[in-house]
A and B are shown apart, each in its own frame.
Chain A
Amino acid sequence: QITLKESGPTLVKPTQTLTLTCTFSGFSRSTSGVGVGWIRQPPGKALEWLALIYWDDDKRYRPSLKSRLTITKDTSKHQVVLTMTNMDPEDTATYYCAHRRSDRSWNYWGQGTLVTVSS
């Protein structure tokens, strides 16, 4: 069974860098087109895809946030890490990590972690 769990700070100050870790289990080998990504949801608003890392280490970022995002993985630790620089109150959201299948659907999600950006 595939599980994912997010961890990281619940509160960050404006201009700080956010680092979130996704620890996963239940999958290690993978086929082409499969990866782990991050999706966020501001309170009361819609889902927004942020970044994706494939098993071969290829990476994709949301164009409007690309300059602020970095996604990496440590397969031996079963972890995917997302960093977002220059945090702003508008980045306040629940951040989810999720498993993406080759058909581009997100079939397993973590429980999410609420990050508040405030001084």
Chain B
Amino acid sequence: QSVLTQPPSVSGAPGQRVTISCTGSSSNIGAGYDVHWYQQLPGTAPKLLIYGNSNRPSGVPDRFSGSKSGTSASLAISGLQAEDEADYYCQSYDSSLSGSVFGGGTKLTVL
């Protein structure tokens, strides 16, 4: 069982907007630690998608956006494209573990 909770799956039609939630606790997200998001395409390593709650690394389309509030964070993907079909993971730091914690991952299906 992951420390951060994500929905197992979400889906949307091309062009639509979807959001993926990430819920933590007072020892991680709620303690003020940043949330980061990763995209994992099938058979590949994870790729940093959003860092510091809402910042995009160079090369990541602005269709991807992140936010954080309280003990939760969200990843929004607008203008869905077939190439967005992947697993998405949130990550933060946990003071109880003194290390990184990940969500259980959310599989995005583009219908």
Contacts and interface: CB of A to CB of B under 8 A. Distances in A.
Interface residues of B, number: 26
A103 B34 CA distance: 8
A109 B105 CA distance: 17
A46 B90 CA distance: 11
B97 interface: yes
Given A46-B103, A112-B45, A103 B97 contact: no
Given A63-B97, A105-B52, A47 B102 contact: yes
Contacts of A39: 100, 102
Nearest to A101: B51
A105 B48 contact: yes
Nearest to B35: A105
A111 B45 contact: yes
B100 A49 contact: yes
A62 B36 CA distance: 19
A51 B104 CA distance: 19
A47 B34 contact: no
A95 to B, nearest CB: 11
A107 interface: yes
Contacts of A62: 97, 99
22 contacts: A39-B102, A46-B2, A46-B89, A47-B46, A47-B89, A52-B100, A62-B99, A96-B46, A100-B100, A103-B34, A104-B36, A105-B34, A105-B36, A105-B52, A105-B91, A106-B38, A106-B48, A106-B91, A106-B100, A109-B46, A111-B44, A112-B45
The 9 nearest A-B residue pairs measured at CB: A49-B100, A105-B36, A109-B45, A105-B51, A47-B102, A46-B104, A104-B93, A46-B105, A107-B48
Interface of B: 2, 33-34, 36, 38, 44-48, 51-52, 57, 89, 91-93, 97-105
Interface of A: 37, 39, 46-49, 52, 60-63, 96, 100-101, 103-107, 109-112
